[in-house]
Structure 1
Amino acid sequence: MEKIKSTTVLGVFHNGKLALGADGQATMGNTVAKSNVKKIRTLAGGKVVAGFAGSTADAFTLIEKFEEKLNTYNGNLRRAAIELVKEWRTDRYLSKLEAMMIVANKEEMLVISGSGDVLEPDSQVAAIGSGSMYAQAAALALKKHAPHLSAEEMVREGLTIAADICIYTNHNFIIASPEE
Structure 2
Amino acid sequence: MSRPRVRSTTVVAVRRGGSVAIAADGQVTMGDTVVKGTATKVRRLKGDRILAGFAGGVADAFTLFEKLEEKLERYPANLTRACVELAKEWRMDRYLRRLEALLLVADRDHLFVVSGDGNVLEPDEDVASIGSGGSFALAAGRALCAHTEMGASEICREALGIAAEICIYTNDRITLLELPAEEGAEADSANTKDAP
Query: Which category describes the TM-score, using the shorter chain as reference length?
Result: over 0.9
Contact preservation (8 Å) 1:5, 1:55 = no
Q: Residue deviations 1:122-171, cap 9 Å, x none?
A: 2111000000011011011101111x111110000000000011110011
Residue 33 of structure 2 corresponds to 31
Aligned-partner Cα distance in 2 for 1:178–1:45 = 11
Residue 74 of structure 2 corresponds to 72
Q: Residue type of the partner of 1:172?
A: R
Aligned-partner Cα distance in 1 for 2:37–2:161 = 15
Q: Residue type of the partner of 2:158?
A: E
Contact preservation (8 Å) 2:71, 2:86 = yes
Q: Residue type of the partner of 1:159?
A: L
Q: Residue type of the partner of 2:161?
A: T
Residue 8 of structure 1 corresponds to 10
Aligned ranges 1:157-176 → 2 under 5 Å: 157-176=158-177
| Secondary structure of the corresponding residue to residue 122 of structure 1 | coil
Residue 154 of structure 2 corresponds to 153
Residue 143 of structure 1 corresponds to 145
Residue 193 of structure 2 corresponds to none
Contact preservation (8 Å) 1:127, 1:133 = yes
Give the TM-score taking structure 1 as reference length. 0.94
Aligned-partner Cα distance in 2 for 1:130–1:5 = 4
Compare CA radii of gyration and give the structure with the larger one: 2
| Secondary structure of the corresponding residue to residue 45 of structure 1 | coil
| Secondary structure of the corresponding residue to residue 160 of structure 1 | helix
Aligned-partner Cα distance in 1 for 2:165–2:47 = 34
Q: Residue type of the partner of 1:86?
A: K
Aligned-partner Cα distance in 2 for 1:67–1:173 = 24
Contact preservation (8 Å) 2:8, 2:132 = yes
5+ residue gaps, structure 2: 1-5, 183-196
| Secondary structure of the corresponding residue to residue 47 of structure 2 | helix
Residue 109 of structure 1 corresponds to 111
5+ residue gaps, structure 1: none
Contact preservation (8 Å) 1:5, 1:56 = no
Aligned residue pairs: how many? 176
Moved over 3 A (4+): none
The answer to whether 1:90 aligns with 2:92 is: yes
Give the TM-score taking structure 2 as reference length. 0.86
Aligned-partner Cα distance in 1 for 2:17–2:179 = 14
Residue 136 of structure 2 corresponds to 134
Residue 48 of structure 2 corresponds to 46
Aligned-partner Cα distance in 1 for 2:179–2:94 = 32
| Secondary structure of the corresponding residue to residue 97 of structure 2 | helix
Contact preservation (8 Å) 1:39, 1:52 = yes
Q: Residue deviations 1:24-57, cap 9 Å, x none?
A: 1111001112111111010001000000001121
Residue 65 of structure 2 corresponds to 63
Aligned-partner Cα distance in 2 for 1:51–1:36 = 15
